[in-house]
Amino acid sequence: MRSARVTIVLFSCSLALVSASALATSAHLAPPSKAELQTAAHTVTHIAEPSIARASIAAMAAGHWTEATHGFDPVMHDALTPTQLSQIWQQLQAKYGTYAGSGKAISKPAPTPDRNVVVPVTFGKQALGFQYTFDASGKIGGLHLVPAPVQQ
């Protein structure tokens, strides 16, 4: 499911860039520069991050541990294997109760060029925040438990 969303986002971005290039050519304007294309790619990655974080939570809740680690950078893959993630999830449910759902992902400050996305996750006894740290390339470079964010 996640790869379909990513494919759609990437296809939409490609289509928009092709359309922009065709429009620029028909209007006798220069095609987008390399810097403009990089900015567009960064923007698409930034927009997709909340969906990636929520997909990771959904995969954990479904017991799809390998899928939950998609998007991890190489350091995260080494530090948090699917088996370890499964064990952590089981420990969380033993301590906080059965998984009950997750809320809207919220962007939080992070040192540049990283970006943080916090997903509120509700268990039977308590809500927590799962904070995903995305690096400049859009890969997940960190996953931390934080206090649940206040939903507005």
- Beta-bridge partners for 117: 107, 132
Asked if residue 116 lies in contact with residue 133, where contact means CB atoms within 8 angstroms, the answer is: yes
Report the C-alpha gap between 85 and 2 in whole angstroms.
18
Which SS3 state, helix, strand or coil, does residue 132 take? Answer: strand
pLDDT of residue 32: 60
Q: What percent of the chain has pLDDT over 90?
A: 62
pLDDT over 80 (residue 105) = yes
Average pLDDT, stretch 88-112?
95
Which of residues 99 and 48 earns the better pLDDT score? 99
What is the average pLDDT across 89-105? 97
DSSP per residue, 39-64: HHHHHHHHHHHHHHHHHHHHHHHTT-
For residue 77, count CB atoms less than 10 angstroms from its CB and return exposed for 0-12, middle for 13-18, buried for 19 or more: middle
Residue-wise pLDDT for 130-144, tens only, equals 999 999 999 999 999
* pLDDT score, position 150: 80
Query: Which residues fall within 8 angstroms of residue 125, CB to CB, at 6 or more apart?
Result: 95, 96, 97
Q: How confident is the model at residue 35, as a pLDDT?
A: 56
pLDDT of residue 33: 60
Q: Quote the pTM value.
A: 0.70
The architecture CATH gives domain 2-147: Roll (3.10)
Q: What is the pLDDT of residues 34-88, one digit of tens each?
A: 555 444 444 444 568 999 999 999 999 999 999 999 999 999 999 999 999 999 9
